[in-house]
Structure 1
Amino acid sequence: MIPWVVLLSIAGLLALLVTGLVRPAIAFVTLAAAYLLLGLIDTTTLLQQFTNPALATLLLLLLVSLALERSPLLDRLAQHMFKGRPQMATARLMGTTAVLSAFLNNTAVVATFLGAISRQRHIAPSRLLIPLSYASILGGMTTLVGTSTNLVVSSFTLGSAGFELGMFQFSLVGLPVAALTFMVLLWRAKALPHHVPEDTADKLAYFLAADLQADSPLIGHSIEANGLRRLDGLYLLEIERQGRLISPVGPEEILQAGDTLVFTGEVGKVQTLQRFPGLKLFGHHADDLLATNLVEVVISHESELAGQTLQDVDFRSMFNAGVVGIRRGGKRLEGQLGKIPLRVGDCLLLAVGGDFRQHRNIDRNFHLLSGSFTRPRLKRSESLLTLLGFATAIGLAALNLLPLFHGLLLLLGGLVLARVLSVAELRRRFPFELWLIIGSALAISQALGNSGAGALLAQGIQQLFNGHGVYPAFIGCYLLTLLLSETVTNNAAAALAFPVAWSTAQAFGVDPLPFIMAVAYGASACFLIPYGYQTHLMVYSPGRYRIADFIRIGLPVSLVYSAAVLVLTPMVFPF
């Protein structure tokens, strides 16, 4: 009975992750705690999972990346990226991104190029941003440190098989797979939408909610009489009045106190609203808000704003900034904008105060797209120290002269002593949620084995593929991981699929390594839906994309990637 209860609880966990009703960290920790209370794992075993060496290595890598992402190297590369013909510029961007993402945090790489792409005017950003995100995946899956997913799989391998995966063990299959997929992506990039600033669709990107104050002279007059019908670059989309929407808005519509006017328009034209007295944008007076510097940002995957509404957040005190507009891909936002829960990847147009850049929580919450604000960069000597130290740690680990954990720990200590990183910054940017998810997932995996659920799962898989051989079972494990990666986060996909793959290998009595690699490659195979991978969410709104754009480009990419993985993995890592 207990094995079935455990399997049902895993199914419930998956359902919660797919629906997004509960944050992944809360779901994983709660299930791990339930298994502890039921006696399926003991306290010592649970705590050991949170100190897994591969997990500790991943945390160190992410902390060191805080310094790497501030190196001016990426900015200098971005300055020379978009010269020449568009197709050559796309290929140059993809190649550079893939190489950098093999060793650096792909989120940092995408964040740097994201700002450069959004500010340049040579090529439409919509033709570059999906290739940028996909190339970061292709580069990341080729090395142990290229993506957190590979380190997650390595941590599971250490816990189950007693060994860690090598630095370039992923490259044996990863490099040819990346090369094949790279060519398909370059070919399909021509089919991306061409959104340029002159397009009407691009002008109607941002949504602004302006409340009409009780003392406004606009009250009692029509839209036509108030001059709200023909605005330069802005369009009055609808009126929210006492819980109902008036759309479309006719020129004879009379404004009433308490109305919320929903405008849509281009970034540079929001200053138009300054001449209308008695308007408050997202709770701030329009004339005060729009008199300050405008900065365009994307909500990051680390942001504490995700899941909250603008009405719930004291934005002004948190960032010394006010929200002027909000945008989400190419979607039409409906309902009261102030009550719409924010998502990772949403674009916000901010009116910032003079000390905006001094706020310590900016880097954690936002990626910069445009505006005069620039993130602080390392000095030349600091950048050289960081890059040289990181390259040394990677090289020593690759040659088996010094474990990666030791090298990264020494480097992190050196960066703190050299004041490149501060203890306060490490505390503020510590990936606490990721640590909870992976540690809890390792504990859940242990409970699967202790309860007999793992053996029951292995028996079912063996019966399913009975008479077909081990290769179809291998394909099944890969496709399961790919499906999970498209519907939940990639790290959660690896955490859920690894026990299945391990049990399958055990059931067939074969070497588990090809099944382990299938999970690693499958967890990085997120090319169809933007919600499963954080860099996709980062480019979703800046590129004015729709989900159909990801599917149209990603389907051939996913098919070629998967075919190459399924053919090459058993050849390089035989059963």
Structure 2
Amino acid sequence: MSAYWVLASIGALLGLLIQGRFSPAVLFSCWAAGYLMLGIVDEQVLLASYSNPALATLIVLMLVSLALERSPLLDRFSDMLLKGRESFATLRLMGVTALFSAFLNNTAVVGSLLGVISRQRYLPASRLLIPLSFASILGGITTLIGTSTNLVVNSFVVNAGLPALGMFQFALVGIPVALLCLAGLLLSARLLPSNNAQDKEANQAYFLEAEVMEGSPLIGNSIEGNQLRSLDGLFLLEIERHGRLISPVSPDEVLHQGDVLVFTGETHKVQALQRFQGLDVFGSRADALLASNLVEVVISNESELAKRTLQEVDFRTMFNAGVVGIRRGERRLTGQLGRVPLRVGDSLLLAVGSDFTQHKNLDRNFHVLNGTLLRPKLSARQSTLAFSGFGGVIALAALGIWPLFNGLIMLLAALLVTRVLTVSELRRRFPFELMLIIGSALTVAKALESSGAAALVADFMRLVFDGYGVLGAFIGVYLITLVLTETVTNNAAAALAFPIGLSTAQAFGADPLPFIMAVAYGASACFIVPFGYQTHLMVYSPGRYRMLDYMKTGLPVSLLYSAGVIVLVPLVFPF
């Protein structure tokens, strides 16, 4: 009976993941804790899940990547990549992105190029950003370390007592599939819109100015005392006083004659200002006034702002910045901005204070799109050290001379000793949420196996695909994983599909490797909707995309990808 209860609980978990109200880290942690309390798994299983060698390798790899993503190498390529005819520029961009993503975390690659592409003036950013995201996925499927999904699957493989996956074991299928899909993407990218990501007129619509006139009763009173902080649909962003900007505005700030108050929010709510005597509302030239300190950022997948409002996190105190506007895809959000729940991938237009760049939490929370406030890049010597060390570690691991984990630990130590990385940076950027997801998901997978729930699913798969043989079951596992990754996150899809794939292989008496590969490739097959893969969310708002843009561009790629995987995996990894 426990098998049925576990299956029912997994169904509930899947429903909550699709709903998206709670983060995967919270859900998987709760489920793992629940199975522990119910005695379905014991504490040794739980502890072993979090000490999984492949999971430890993934964590160290992501910490090392913090140095690699700060290399100026990609910036130096950018000018060369984006010049010339659009088709050639797109092809060069996709090729370089795929190549880097084969060895670097694809989120880091997209994050490094996101600002470069948004700032360039050769081509509309919206014609390039979806190809950038797709190419990073296609490059990532060619090696073990190219995407966190492959390393997550490897952690399940190790946990199941099977031989660990090799560094280039994915390449025999991944490279042909990537080339096929890049060719298809070059054609489908022509369907993308030509949105201007730096539309200044659109930014100007966010602002409203009002001048404190001579004799106004507002003079000599604070912002709080004048009740200027709780207006319907408007928010006091900055004050211009004798050519000087006061930002952010303290509630205790006393108004002077001639002060120009800059409001943001729903500018059609201007009537909210009419009740203030001596406040002259005029024009909308604030875009020119604030151009020197406006910064556009995208909320990162690591951000603590996701699913919280500006009021909840006290945004001004955290970053010494005011939010001028929020954009989600092509849609500018309206209403009182402080009450809008933020999402990963949202674009924020910020008016920043003088010490904005000094805040240590910027790189964790944002991808900065404008060019004046980017993170410090590595020097040529540091970049050479980081990349040569990383290349050496990969080569030694690929040749079987030195384990990947050992090499990465030594490289991380060297980066700390040479101060390319600092302990405080590791503390800020430690992938704690990912560790929770994978460690808990490994426990959930053990619960599926030990309770007999995975065997029930495998028996069902065998019943459904019995007439189609082991190939039909393999295709079924792949399609299940693909559907999961389009509806929940890629790592969650891998966690839920792996026990099904392994049990199905055992039910058919087949080699588990092709089924494992079906899960790995299927979990990266997110091309149709933007919500299942973090790089899609990163480019969603800067490109001002709609859901339809992903579907039009991604559906042909998804079909080519699936056809390539279904044909090649059984040939390269026989049943």
Q: C-alpha deviations, 1:283-315, integer Å up to 9, x for none? A: 9x9989948611111010001111111222222
Specify the alignment match of 1:325 in structure 2.
325
Specify the alignment match of 2:532 in structure 1.
532
Specify the alignment match of 2:337 in structure 1.
337
Is it true that 1:574 corresponds to 2:574 in the alignment?
yes
The code of the aligned residue for 2:184 comes to V
Percent identity (aligned): 61
Work out whether residues 477 and 497 of structure 1, in 8 Å CA contact, stay in contact via their aligned partners in 2. yes
Specify the alignment match of 1:241 in structure 2.
none
Correspondences of 1:464-479 after superposition (within 5 Å): 464-479=464-479
C-alpha change, 1:566 and 1:354, in structure 2 (3 Å) is same
Work out whether residues 209 and 260 of structure 2, in 8 Å CA contact, stay in contact via their aligned partners in 1. no
CA distance in 2, matches of 1:36, 1:86: 55
The code of the aligned residue for 1:356 comes to F
Work out whether residues 344 and 537 of structure 2, in 8 Å CA contact, stay in contact via their aligned partners in 1. yes
Per the TM alignment, residue 206 of structure 1 is displaced from its structure 2 partner at its CA by: 8.1
Is it true that 1:315 corresponds to 2:315 in the alignment?
yes
Per the TM alignment, residue 371 of structure 1 is displaced from its structure 2 partner at its CA by: 4.2
C-alpha change, 1:434 and 1:211, in structure 2 (3 Å) is farther
C-alpha change, 1:332 and 1:417, in structure 2 (3 Å) is closer
Work out whether residues 208 and 262 of structure 1, in 8 Å CA contact, stay in contact via their aligned partners in 2. no
Correspondences of 1:103-502 after superposition (within 5 Å): 103-196=103-196, 203-204=201-202, 208=206, 258-261=231-234, 277-281=260-264, 290=290, 293-502=293-502
The code of the aligned residue for 1:324 comes to V
Specify the alignment match of 2:18 in structure 1.
18
Q: C-alpha deviations, 1:4-28, integer Å up to 9, x for none? A: 0000000111111100111110100
C-alpha change, 1:212 and 1:508, in structure 2 (3 Å) is farther
Per the TM alignment, residue 203 of structure 1 is displaced from its structure 2 partner at its CA by: 4.3
Specify the alignment match of 1:542 in structure 2.
542
Specify the alignment match of 1:76 in structure 2.
76
CA distance in 2, matches of 1:383, 1:28: 37
Q: C-alpha deviations, 1:238-294, integer Å up to 9, x for none? A: xxxxxxxxxxxxxxxxxxx9332599xxxxxxx9xx9995554379x9989948611
The code of the aligned residue for 2:554 comes to G
Work out whether residues 282 and 323 of structure 1, in 8 Å CA contact, stay in contact via their aligned partners in 2. no
Work out whether residues 216 and 277 of structure 1, in 8 Å CA contact, stay in contact via their aligned partners in 2. no
- TM-score, scaled to structure 1: 0.87
C-alpha change, 1:198 and 1:113, in structure 2 (3 Å) is closer
Q: C-alpha deviations, 1:396-419, integer Å up to 9, x for none? A: 000000110000011001111111
Q: C-alpha deviations, 1:148-170, integer Å up to 9, x for none? A: 00000011011114211000000
CA distance in 1, matches of 2:216, 2:505: 71
C-alpha change, 1:124 and 1:516, in structure 2 (3 Å) is same
Structure 1 window deviating more from structure 2 (377-386 vs 491-500): it is: 377-386
Work out whether residues 217 and 277 of structure 1, in 8 Å CA contact, stay in contact via their aligned partners in 2. no
Work out whether residues 142 and 171 of structure 2, in 8 Å CA contact, stay in contact via their aligned partners in 1. yes
SS in 2 for 1:500: helix
Per the TM alignment, residue 207 of structure 1 is displaced from its structure 2 partner at its CA by: 7.2
The code of the aligned residue for 2:99 comes to V
Work out whether residues 197 and 203 of structure 1, in 8 Å CA contact, stay in contact via their aligned partners in 2. no
Per the TM alignment, residue 319 of structure 1 is displaced from its structure 2 partner at its CA by: 1.2
Per the TM alignment, residue 217 of structure 1 is displaced from its structure 2 partner at its CA by: 11
Work out whether residues 7 and 453 of structure 2, in 8 Å CA contact, stay in contact via their aligned partners in 1. yes
The code of the aligned residue for 1:445 comes to A
Work out whether residues 328 and 540 of structure 1, in 8 Å CA contact, stay in contact via their aligned partners in 2. yes
The code of the aligned residue for 1:546 comes to R
Per the TM alignment, residue 353 of structure 1 is displaced from its structure 2 partner at its CA by: 2.0
CA distance in 2, matches of 1:204, 1:69: 31
Where structure 2 has 5 or more consecutive residues not aligned to the other structure, the ranges are 218-229, 237-244, 250-257, 267-272, 274-283
Specify the alignment match of 2:508 in structure 1.
508
CA distance in 2, matches of 1:111, 1:368: 9
SS in 2 for 1:326: strand
CA distance in 1, matches of 2:216, 2:522: 57
The code of the aligned residue for 2:29 comes to V
Structure 1 window deviating more from structure 2 (202-211 vs 29-38): it is: 202-211
Query: What is the count of residue pairs matched by the alignment?
Result: 529
The code of the aligned residue for 2:111 comes to A
Specify the alignment match of 1:96 in structure 2.
96
Per the TM alignment, residue 364 of structure 1 is displaced from its structure 2 partner at its CA by: 0.3
The code of the aligned residue for 2:461 comes to I
C-alpha change, 1:333 and 1:574, in structure 2 (3 Å) is same
CA distance in 1, matches of 2:456, 2:340: 44
The code of the aligned residue for 1:258 comes to L
The code of the aligned residue for 2:233 comes to T
Work out whether residues 502 and 512 of structure 2, in 8 Å CA contact, stay in contact via their aligned partners in 1. yes
SS in 2 for 1:446: helix
Where structure 1 has 5 or more consecutive residues not aligned to the other structure, the ranges are 220-256, 264-270
SS in 2 for 1:316: helix
Per the TM alignment, residue 335 of structure 1 is displaced from its structure 2 partner at its CA by: 4.2
SS in 1 for 2:297: strand
SS in 2 for 1:281: strand
C-alpha change, 1:573 and 1:358, in structure 2 (3 Å) is same
Q: C-alpha deviations, 1:304-344, integer Å up to 9, x for none? A: 11111122222222112211121111125354332110111
The code of the aligned residue for 2:232 comes to D
C-alpha change, 1:555 and 1:215, in structure 2 (3 Å) is farther
Specify the alignment match of 1:223 in structure 2.
none
CA distance in 2, matches of 1:170, 1:56: 20
Q: CA RMSD in A?
A: 3.0
Per the TM alignment, residue 49 of structure 1 is displaced from its structure 2 partner at its CA by: 0.6
Work out whether residues 300 and 367 of structure 1, in 8 Å CA contact, stay in contact via their aligned partners in 2. yes
SS in 1 for 2:323: strand
SS in 1 for 2:349: strand
Specify the alignment match of 1:238 in structure 2.
none
SS in 1 for 2:18: helix
Work out whether residues 156 and 498 of structure 1, in 8 Å CA contact, stay in contact via their aligned partners in 2. yes
CA distance in 1, matches of 2:401, 2:264: 59
C-alpha change, 1:509 and 1:213, in structure 2 (3 Å) is farther
Structure 1 window deviating more from structure 2 (330-339 vs 523-532): it is: 330-339
Work out whether residues 141 and 521 of structure 2, in 8 Å CA contact, stay in contact via their aligned partners in 1. yes
CA distance in 2, matches of 1:533, 1:414: 32
Per the TM alignment, residue 211 of structure 1 is displaced from its structure 2 partner at its CA by: 11
Per the TM alignment, residue 108 of structure 1 is displaced from its structure 2 partner at its CA by: 1.4
The code of the aligned residue for 1:457 comes to V
Per the TM alignment, residue 213 of structure 1 is displaced from its structure 2 partner at its CA by: 12
The code of the aligned residue for 1:128 comes to L
Work out whether residues 282 and 310 of structure 1, in 8 Å CA contact, stay in contact via their aligned partners in 2. no
Correspondences of 1:28-39 after superposition (within 5 Å): 28-39=28-39
Work out whether residues 62 and 431 of structure 1, in 8 Å CA contact, stay in contact via their aligned partners in 2. yes
Work out whether residues 514 and 573 of structure 1, in 8 Å CA contact, stay in contact via their aligned partners in 2. yes
The code of the aligned residue for 1:425 comes to E
C-alpha change, 1:209 and 1:518, in structure 2 (3 Å) is farther
Work out whether residues 296 and 371 of structure 1, in 8 Å CA contact, stay in contact via their aligned partners in 2. no
C-alpha change, 1:463 and 1:209, in structure 2 (3 Å) is farther
C-alpha change, 1:210 and 1:435, in structure 2 (3 Å) is farther
Structure 1 window deviating more from structure 2 (366-375 vs 404-413): it is: 366-375
Work out whether residues 213 and 258 of structure 1, in 8 Å CA contact, stay in contact via their aligned partners in 2. no
Work out whether residues 347 and 541 of structure 2, in 8 Å CA contact, stay in contact via their aligned partners in 1. yes
SS in 2 for 1:370: coil
